[in-house]
């Protein structure tokens, strides 16, 4: 499954946020297939549509879909040169599919800042530069080999060389590989390099308890936003400390607590949804009387592949999928009414599943 890695300098609030994630996940449900890796936290994906479907269908149980975060501690200045176990931590980033960079936007005299004072842009640049330097090493190494092969007119090398050169030029300007315009074919060619800066990134601005309700006016948050906007990246504002506290509350208590603080949605819930989006994930539903359930798929997947997420037999024996859009089902009021209104479609093996589709798969065993 796809996972988002949490990175950041020391003392910015990563562990606090990760604790919130693990506690929220532990409280929510048990995920039998979840890894037992202590660096992986599983959380439920908050989705109001699931509550609505539960109201409508009144199933015996409701199962949300889950999402994984990986804690990647230990990136410091010089990590790409092996500083502070740097290479080991950088290699952990190779295994994640998206990066959430936590940035310290809270002042606290008692908590040391690694470079002496709170300066989110400096912090971001330190981390991003380490990732860029690590990629530079990978690209240069590869380019040396590929150039030799290209001189001998090796067909694949002749295609790969200009792609690597393009990326190298961006990295030299301290720009991430994801800023380079690459076609799907070009992306495929360099996939094996597992570049760090090709992964999508979002920024998590960690603000203090007192400022979270009015974070838009926090100068540090404004700086992070400006920086992220220039890259076309998203910013989520949270107070990791509060997230840790509310991760132990049930839904009702949590809602009350957030209201008192003047926050509409918990930062963690926003982060989960933003990461989900960043990874190109979407949700379809199954809605039977036994169980109403949300399932995660990659945007662009077709009906048989989506059926295969539930069980490989569903994909192998796929015949068709009875499909109704969430909005149509809710507007009709029941599955029977949606059928009567002609809103339930019979979709075949080439149907590209849409976010919010409610599906019933027909298959041969």
Residues 204 to 233: which contact ligand GDP by CB under 6 A? 206, 208-209
CA separation for the pair 205, 103 (Å, rounded): 5
State the nearest-atom distance from the C-beta of 240 to ligand GDP, in Å. 4
**Nearest to ligand GDP of 66, 72 (CB atom):** 72
Verify binding: residue 241, ligand GDP, rule CB under 6 A. Answer: yes
**Nearest to ligand GDP of 19, 87 (CB atom):** 19
**What is the size of the binding site for ligand GDP (CB under 6 A)?**
17
Question: What is the four-CA torsion angle of 208, 213, 219, 224, rounded to 10 degrees?
Answer: 80
State the nearest-atom distance from the C-beta of 186 to ligand GDP, in Å. 35
CA separation for the pair 359, 270 (Å, rounded): 26
Binding mask 273-312 for ligand GDP (x = CB under 6 A): ----------------------------------------
Q: Are 243 and 20 in contact (CB under 8 A)?
A: yes
Verify binding: residue 12, ligand GDP, rule CB under 6 A. Answer: yes
State the nearest-atom distance from the C-beta of 244 to ligand GDP, in Å. 8
**Residue 287: which of 66, 56, 65 has the closest Cα?**
56
Q: Which residues contact 28 (CB under 8 A, 6 or more apart)?
A: 43, 44, 64
Residues 324 to 363: which contact ligand GDP by CB under 6 A? none
CA separation for the pair 285, 296 (Å, rounded): 9
What burial letters (b/e) apply to 270-296, b meaning 16+ CB within 10 Å?
bbbbbbbebbebbbbbbbeeeebbbbb
CA separation for the pair 102, 20 (Å, rounded): 14
Chain position carrying tokens 């989110």: 120
State the nearest-atom distance from the C-beta of 264 to ligand GDP, in Å. 18
Would you state the structure tokens that stand for residue 129, as one six-digit string?
């530069």
Verify binding: residue 112, ligand GDP, rule CB under 6 A. Answer: no
Chain position carrying tokens 């562990």: 15
Verify binding: residue 21, ligand GDP, rule CB under 6 A. Answer: no
Select the residue interacting with ligand GDP from 27, 85, 111, 336 (CB under 6 A): 111
Q: Which residues are annotated binding-site positions for ATP? A: 11-16
Binding site for ligand GDP (CB under 6 A): 8, 10-16, 106, 108, 111, 206, 208-209, 239-241
């Amino acid at each position: 499954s796809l996972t988002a890695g949490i990175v950041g300098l020391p003392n910015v609030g990563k562990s606090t946020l990760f604790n919130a994630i693990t506690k929220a996940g532990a409280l929510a449900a048990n995920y039998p297939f979840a890894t037992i890796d202590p660096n992986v936290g599983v959380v439920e994906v908050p989705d109001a549509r699931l509550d609505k479907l539960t109201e409508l269908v009144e199933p015996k149980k409701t199962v949300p879909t889950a999402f994984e975060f990986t804690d990647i501690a230990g990136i410091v200045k010089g990590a790409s040169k092996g500083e502070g176990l740097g290479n080991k931590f950088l290699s952990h980033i190779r295994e994640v599919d998206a990066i959430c960079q936590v940035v310290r936007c809270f002042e606290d005299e008692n908590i040391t800042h690694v470079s002496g004072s709170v300066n989110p842009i400096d912090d971001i640049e330190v981390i991003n530069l380490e990732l860029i330097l690590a990629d530079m090493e990978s690209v240069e190494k590869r380019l040396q080999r590929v150039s030799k092969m290209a001189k001998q007119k090796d067909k694949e090398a002749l295609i790969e060389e200009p792609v690597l050169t393009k990326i190298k030029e961006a990295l030299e300007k301290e720009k991430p590989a994801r800023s380079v315009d690459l076609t799907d074919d070009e992306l495929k060619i360099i996939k094996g390099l597992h570049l760090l800066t090709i992964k999508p990134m979002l920024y998590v601005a960690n603000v203090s308890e007192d400022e979270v309700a009015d974070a838009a006016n926090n100068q540090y948050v404004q700086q992070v936003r400006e920086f992220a906007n220039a890259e076309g990246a998203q910013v989520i504002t949270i107070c990791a400390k509060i997230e840790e506290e509310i991760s132990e509350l049930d839904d009702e208590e949590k809602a009350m607590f957030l209201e008192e603080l003047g926050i509409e949605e918990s930062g963690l819930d926003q982060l989960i949804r933003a990461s989900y989006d960043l990874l190109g994930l979407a949700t379809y539903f199954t809605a039977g009387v036994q169980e109403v359930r949300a399932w995660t798929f990659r945007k662009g997947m077709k009906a048989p592949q989506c059926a295969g997420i539930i069980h490989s037999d569903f994909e192998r024996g796929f015949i068709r999928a009875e499909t109704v859009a969430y909005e149509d089902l809710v507007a009709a009021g029941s599955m029977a009414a949606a059928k009567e209104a002609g809103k339930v479609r019979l979709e075949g093996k080439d149907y590209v599943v849409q976010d919010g589709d409610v599906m019933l798969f027909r298959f041969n065993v």
